[in-house]
């Protein structure tokens, strides 16, 4: 009995061992099979690298230096120009003189100027002034100042130190603090003096001087006795500053466009034909005159130059109006005594210079230059 039992038990172990051995062999074969299959599979061809896009040359960058009034007015125009991948513009707000001198020496490519060229200044000869937009020089006071209007004669006399008290301008008694820009031949100051005196470098009595128009505006805000000049586009959205009406006409887009506001003026981009970046500057000037550029200018309270092509034809009428209001019917200017036919000699020169800058090839410019030449000849002859 015992032998039979042990035999059966031994047979059972042997059977189990054989079964486990068979399972192990099958497992090894199963694992090895994929390896053999992989070895037989053909190798895949290496993936091709994607072809690189051709390198796009970086757009050229131009240096725009200018007075604070112009660079402030054109800042969004620059942003749109760069966003459209037309090129880059490095803006350097400083002063009119530094900008025009930098263009002359080649350290800047284009100047932003709130004034016309000074034709007898050597550093500005050979520089082309391209009008971009119409703006206006505006007399400004603090919002708390009760005076709301001023005449051209009062502005003229104020700048010569003949008007010194607010009571002379219809306000309460108190001394007037006249503000101006210390930088020589500043764009805004030059334009204002050119219109009032026919000379942009006219000496004036302005004891409070500021480095730029933005600092001047900050001073006006906190001084109820202050007055100075800025630009319409620069202060149109400033609730702390009041723009005075001139001869009863308030500065606005409408009164600038139709010429009824007498102190309208232009903003310019100035460059030289021999500049290394002449073509890139021409692209930027063209962009300013495009429909996209003009729309940007309109949003900044500027009148695009191309929107009012007839405005330049009103120069004679405008200067005659200013002369009549400032100098009266005698036609004798405080800064130009000699007269021709009752008109100050400086007036024909002013008209000719203005037209030469903004419309050099027009018939009206040629006529104005002839009138100025006759006036100068008459002055030289003492007649």
pLDDT attached to residue 250: 98
For the residues of 2-44, what is the DSSP string, one character each? Answer: HHHHHHHHHHHHHHHHHHHHHHHHHHHHHHHHHHHHHHHSPPP
79-133 confidence digits (pLDDT tens): 999 999 999 999 999 999 999 999 999 999 999 999 999 989 999 999 999 999 9
Q: What is the pLDDT of residues 68-77, one digit of tens each?
A: 999 999 999 9
Q: Kindly state the helix (H) or strand (E) to which residue 88 belongs, with its residue range.
A: strand 88-94
Separation CA 278–CA 274 (nearest Å): 7
- Global confidence as pTM: 0.73
pLDDT at 55 over 60: no
Q: Is the dihedral angle over the CA atoms 358, 364, 369, 374 positive or is it negative? A: negative
What pLDDT, on a 0 to 100 scale, did the predictor assign at position 119? Answer: 87
Using CA atoms, how far apart are residues 135 and 298, in angstroms rounded to an integer?
11
Do residues 74 and 81 lie in contact, with contact meaning Cβ atoms separated by under 8 Å? no
Phi, psi of 158, deg, nearest 5: -60, -45
d(CA 220, CA 177): 9
List pLDDT tens digits, range 354-383.
Answer: 555 445 555 556 666 666 676 666 656 655
Residues 362 and 303: their CA atoms lie apart, in Å, by: 21
359: which residues sit within 8 A by CB, 6+ positions away?
312, 365
246 SS3 class: strand
| CA dist., res. 30 & res. 217, Å (int) | 90
Nearest CA-CA partner of 239 in 169, 147, 140: 140
In the chain, pLDDT over 70 holds for what percent of residues?
70
User: Which pLDDT belongs to residue 360?
Assistant: 53
In whole angstroms, what is the distance from residue 378 CA to residue 368 CA? 15
Q: What is the mean pLDDT of the chain?
A: 81
pLDDT at 372: 65
Most confident stretch, 36-40, 171-175, 373-377: 171-175
321 near 262, Cβ under 8 Å? yes
* Token pair for 34: 């994929």
pLDDT tens profile 247-276: 999 999 999 999 999 999 999 999 999 999
């Amino acid at each position: 009995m015992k032998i039979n039992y042990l035999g059966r038990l031994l047979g059972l172990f042997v059977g189990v061992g054989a079964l486990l051995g068979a399972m192990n062999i099958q497992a090894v074969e199963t694992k090895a099979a994929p390896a053999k299959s992989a070895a037989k599979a053909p190798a895949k061809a290496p993936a091709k690298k994607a072809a690189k896009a051709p390198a796009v040359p970086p757009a050229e960058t131009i240096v725009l230096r200018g007075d604070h009034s112009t660079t402030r007015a054109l800042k969004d125009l620059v942003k749109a120009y760069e966003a459209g991948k037309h090129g880059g513009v490095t803006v350097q707000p400083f002063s009119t003189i530094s900008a025009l001198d930098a263009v002359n020496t080649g350290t800047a490519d284009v100047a932003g100027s709130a004034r016309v060229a000074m034709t007898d200044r050597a550093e500005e000869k050979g520089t082309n002034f391209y009008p971009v937009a119409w703006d206006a020089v505006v007399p400004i006071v603090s919002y708390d100042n009760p005076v709301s209007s001023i005449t051209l004669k009062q502005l003229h006399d104020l700048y010569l130190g003949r008007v010194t008290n607010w009571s002379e301008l219809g306000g309460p008694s108190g001394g007037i603090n006249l503000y101006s820009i210390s930088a020589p031949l500043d764009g805004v100051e030059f334009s204002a003096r050119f219109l009032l005196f026919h000379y942009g470098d006219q000496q004036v009595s302005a004891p409070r001087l500021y480095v730029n128009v933005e600092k001047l505006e900050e001073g006006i805000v906190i001084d109820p006795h202050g007055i100075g000049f800025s630009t319409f586009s620069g202060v149109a959205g400033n609730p702390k500053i009041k723009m005075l009406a001139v001869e009863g006409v308030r500065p606005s887009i409408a009164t600038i466009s139709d010429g009824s506001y007498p102190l309208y003026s232009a903003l310019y981009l100035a460059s030289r034909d021999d500049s290394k970046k002449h073509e890139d500057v021409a692209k930027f000037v063209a962009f300013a005159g495009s429909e996209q550029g003009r729309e940007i200018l309109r949003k900044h309270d500027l009148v695009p130059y191309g929107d009012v092509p007839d405005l330049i034809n009103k120069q004679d009428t405008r200067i005659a109006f200013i002369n009549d209001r400032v100098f009266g019917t005698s036609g004798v200017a405080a800064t130009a005594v000699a007269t021709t036919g009752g008109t100050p000699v400086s007036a024909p020169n002013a008209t000719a210079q203005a037209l030469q800058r903004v419309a050099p090839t027009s018939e009206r410019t040629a006529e104005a230059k002839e009138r100025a030449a006759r006036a100068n000849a008459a002055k030289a002859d003492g007649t």
